Amino acid sequence: MGYHSIVLVKQVPDTANISGQVMKEDGTVNRALLPAIFNHEDRVALEIALQIQDNFGGTVSAITMGPPRASDVLRECLFMGADNAYLISDRKFAGADTLATSYVLSEAIKKIGNYDFIFAGRQAIDGDTAQVGPQTAEKLGIPQITYAQEIISLKENHAVIKKKIEGGYEILETALPCLITVLKDAVFPRPYKAKRVMTYKNAKTLIELEKLTEGNSLLYIDQLKYEYISKHIYINTLTMDDLKLDSERCGVAGSPTKVHKIESVVLKGNKHENIEPTKQGIGNLIDKLMEDHIFG
Amino acid sequence: MPNFFTENSDLLYQFDRLDLKEVVELTESGYNQSEKYSFAPVNYEDAIQNYKKILEVVGDISGNFIAPRAASVDEIGASFENGKVTYAKGTKESIDLLSKAELMGMILPREYGGLNFPTTIYMMAVEMISRADASLMNIFGLQDIGKTIAQFADDNLKTEYLPHFASGKFTGAMALTEPDAGSDLQAVKLSAYQDESGNWFLRGVKRFITNGNGDVLLVLARTEPGTKDARGLSMFACYGDETVKVRRIEHKLGIHGSPTCELQFNDTPAKLVGQRRFGLLKYVIYLMNRARVGIGAQSLGISQAAYEEALKYAKAREQFDKPIVQLPVISNMLIEMKINIEASRSLFYQTCVWLDKKERYEDEADKFRSEKKSLAEINEKIKEASKITAFLTPLTKLLLSESANKITYDALQIHGGTGYMKEFNIERLFRDARITNIYEGTSQMQVVAASGGAINDILADYFNAWDKKEYKGNLSYLLAHIQEMRNIYYDCLKYLKDKKDKSFHEIASKDIVEIYGSIYISYLLLAEADTDNRKIFTARRFILDSLAKALKNQETIKLELYTDILHADTILK
């Protein structure tokens, strides 16, 4: 028995620790200066998948679409307990919006195949769209439950899930396979396990292995890859060609979202007014706010 | 997201400077375990990489998980009800997380679920945990109990206990102190007796037992009725089962998260660890030396935390139209703290490496003995390492715990009246620091333990060799100051020798230990300054300060300040 869970993870800029130099004058972010971290809600998603594995057995695979350095988060998934990791990376994926990303992810998931659950964080802290999970489910034609707070029960092919809605909760039952996006406080993610950290610290993607062979004529990529696979420290690496993707649906070409303009809105008060806490004072305040079209 | 490892540049600096090659080679005996354990290193570089990765994990957990819980752990504390001890919520959560992270058996052998790390690396972890929550160190730092079992107990005991220590399921305690046996452990009375089949049982009372509610207790007990000294004492391991009654836990000034228990053993079944009669002479000494090093790490962690709090406050607090950090008297206090911490850390990790060497040499000698190889060379190494650790361990415990008190005192002072209030972390750190120079041997006992090495000038060969080194730029004037300190040291020694007064000697040995210890640290810092410009300020401040203190110590001795001890009865009447 056991369940196979695939967890969608993303490496994101650490927007919680923005220092002076990171914000450029035009209001955009200098990504190179921001440390890249594991999107917290995705870590929560991985924890839920690992708890299912702890209780029912099965396997957990982590998958990310991103640039080569996104392999960092995959290693971190291995440190926590993921059995397999997949980096989906290709220069032609650059500039992808949620539509193109979900296309690539759904095709990669089809290739991995044989899954019961797909877990993802509710959203990533860089884009905050919360769209990639739902769009991936749509393309795979499977049910989706977003904003999940808890898996209440799991029996054979059915899961009962508590989902947060405005002002309360909803309890939903779903057949498997399904896609679930989770909230940040659903569970507390486990720490990296010391023995796994030491085991997988040198796990590498194909791109990283290719880097090693550059300028070293004694290393052959096939041999190196075989060595890493046999030591169980190879991170599966898939490109556009490996997945036989339609290039028109990838990257910028496949992304209808166009950023028209980025504006840095700086709210700056230049004067203040004291409002007396009386009926008259509050009435005046409301009038003023209506005048400024903040109300009404 | 503060990481107490990657964001502590001085700790990183000491990590990068570590020369653990010999220790790691011996610990990993030919790196042959990598075949069996995927996480075992394949060579020295791999081992160092492992240590660094794991210390990063510890730094993350310390900074982001444990530290935010420290204030509530202090407020709630461990509690005692109906004979049962309960940890504070934060303590329990932290132990659970550290167990899940597989960090509760860092120094245990891999075959029992441990990581097989050198003590030096483990101590870096202890330093960070202590900085986050000093009271948690008293549980995390008890890995030495498992280590003592691993070192001396038979295979059955090891298999029975160690995997549970490594997984974090068991915590331990060392039950040594009794109401009438504190600093003087030879007076231990708790009795161990055998039934007709040779099973051992324990009966008696232990007091001030840190984590006495632990699952496994190492107990020092008298096996030879009628004896009154160390030779009648043996070491036992037992479960903290229903025969071990926790009578009470103490209400303490600090380290509230750590339960300090009074235990009553009511015919508790126990197993002998190692050989009879060697309890105090061999096993407690081993355990105690490690525990003292652990308190060094705890002191250092508290000092670092206090310094960070003081610096943060001094930058934020404005008086006289500027942050108080810009006031010379305040910045001078902060510099003093920082230099003190860096000097302490330098001394501390040297002590750890020497301890690691000594223990690995001893293991090596055991191996040679069973293989009937010649022991001459390894015995020389053991002798040297033993001599040095016997001096450096008490010296480190003495200096670092006294520093922790001074640093928390000054850090509170920088906070002004605010620091006296519960709202600020420094109030807790100040209380937590106070135990460090008392338990595991008071500072006064550490002076006694270190004075032999200091009086016998055991590091002379090292000092002489370091004198001959070429130091860059104008560092040679600092070397001249160190040599001046050495002259002061010899002058004091001669004075004491001529004086032939035992009481005077005993009191003055503190001055001698201080001078000698400072000389050693001064050389360490000089070497650091020679390769790293950042350390020039550290070396300069420390060496000049040490010289000034040495001059004072010299005057204290030569002015015969202590002769009035002969009239103590009259003065204290």
pLDDT tens by residue, A228-281: 999 999 999 999 999 999 989 988 888 888 877 777 777 777 778 788 889 998
CA distances from B328 to A288, B210, B261, B341, B530 (A): 52, 42, 46, 20, 28
Phi/psi for B407 (5° steps) reads -70, -40
Residue A81 near residue A219 (C-beta atoms within 8 A): no
CATH fold of A3-249: Rossmann fold (3.40.50)
Residue with tokens 């025969």: B243
Give the C-alpha separation, A214 to A220, whole Å: 10
* Among B39, B41, B60, beta carbon nearest to A195: B39
Is residue A295 predicted with pLDDT exceeding 80?
A: no
B39:A190 CB<8 A: no
Measured from the Cβ of residue A205, the count of other Cβ atoms closer than 10 Å reads: 24
Residue B145 has pLDDT above 90, yes or no: yes
Q: What are phi and psi of A23, to 5 degrees?
A: -80, 125
What pLDDT is recorded for position A251? 86
Q: How far apart are alpha carbons B305 and B377 in whole angstroms?
A: 43
Residue B337 distance to chain A (closest CA, Å): 28
Query: How far from the centroid of its chain's Cα atoms is residue B106's Cα?
Result: 16
* Residue B73 near residue B135, CB atoms below 8 Å: yes
Whether B57 sits inside 8 A of A194 (CB atoms) is yes
The tokens for B169 are 């399921």
B150 contacts B83 by C-beta, under 8 angstroms: no
Q: Write down the mean pLDDT value for chain A.
A: 90
pLDDT digits (tens, 9 = 90+) for B337-393: 999 999 999 999 999 999 999 999 999 999 999 999 999 999 999 999 999 999 999
Q: Write down all domains in chain B, each with its CATH number in brackets.
A: 1-170 (1.10.540.10), 172-277 (2.40.110.10), 278-455 (1.20.140.10), 459-571 (1.20.120)
End-to-end Cα distance, chain A: 59
Q: Per-domain residue ranges for chain A?
A: 3-249
What backbone phi and psi angles, to 5 degrees, belong to A74? -70, -40
Question: Which among A17, A190, A193 has the least Cβ separation from residue B1?
Answer: A17
Asked whether the bond before A134 is cis by omega within 30 degrees of 0, the reply is no
* Single-letter residue type at B399: L
Angle at A19 between CA A16 and CA A25, to 5 degrees: 115
pTM comes to: 0.92
Percent of chain A scoring above 70 in pLDDT: 96
User: Cβ distance B233 to B222 under 8 Å?
Assistant: yes
Provide residues of A within 8 Å CB-CB of chain B.
14, 16-17, 190-199, 201, 231-232
The CA distances from residue B343 to B5, B190, B524, B525, B526, in Å, are 18, 41, 8, 7, 11
Per-residue CA distances from B496 to B368, B521, B550 (Å): 44, 24, 15
pLDDT higher than threshold 70 for residue A113: yes
Interface residue of A83, A192, A196, A232 to substitute, partner B, most B CBs within 10 Å: A192
- How far does A77 lie from chain B, in Å, by closest CA? 14
Q: Which residue of B has its CA nearest to A16?
A: B1
Q: What is the pLDDT of residue A20?
A: 65
Q: Is B53 on the interface with A (CB under 8 A)?
A: yes
Contacts of A197 in chain B (CB under 8 A): 39, 50, 53-54, 57
In sequence order, the 6+-apart residues with CB closer than 8 A to the CB of A224 are A209, A212, A213
> Hey, is B547 helix, strand or coil?
helix
Strand runs labelled E in B314-416: 318-319, 322-323
A27 pLDDT above the threshold of 70: no
